Amino acid sequence: MTEPQIILGIDPGCTVTGYSILKKINQKISILDYGYLPLPAKKHLSIRIGIFYEFFIKKLDSFPEVTHIALETPFLHKNAQSFLKLGYLRGVLYLIANQRELGLFEFSPREVKLAVTGYGNASKEQVAKTLQLYFPNLTEQKKDDVTDAIAVSLCGAWSENAQG
């Protein structure tokens, strides 16, 4: 039996961040935890980054067996400021991965959709429905960020290419 792989998948956002923790032993994958972190939109970005950092430090303290972090890479929409702010949150996760000596996976939105549904342009609803097939006990999510985080975690569980 191989060592278990525990992946913390994160869909970072400046107002809502989705997360999930999956456990992979051999080829069996199960969900240990999932949810979202709301960040107060009216608070200064530095405060939101602090809340984000503290939340994931506490999450890792609660799940010390986590071996990897999986992230979805952002893509530049029309708003460069949002893209830049996501970079700050990603930097925090890079720091945490380094501090905790965790492997790091990164996947583009297209890679995640392709891996999970077999179609790189799948809708969020198609991703959610496919995840329901993988994890029948998964409750329907009110936030796409949670579904995205679960999908990113799953890609991490399927991947062999963690960056150290």
Active-site residue, selected from the candidate residues 11, 54, 61, 65: 11
Active-site residue, selected from the candidate residues 54, 65, 72, 140: 72
- Strands of the chain (E only): list them: 5-11, 16-25, 28-38, 68-72, 103-107
Whether the Cβ atoms of residue 88 and residue 45 lie closer than 8 Å to each other: yes
| Token pair listed for 129 | 């429905």
Phi and psi at residue 2, to the nearest 5°: -85, 165
Q: Which of 116, 106, 113, 110 is nearest to 156 (CA)?
A: 106
- 3-state SS string over 50-68? HHHHHHHHHHHHHCCCCCE
**145 belongs to the catalytic site:** yes
**11 belongs to the catalytic site:** yes
Active-site residue, selected from the candidate residues 33, 140, 145, 148: 145
Q: Which residues are catalytic?
A: 11, 72, 145
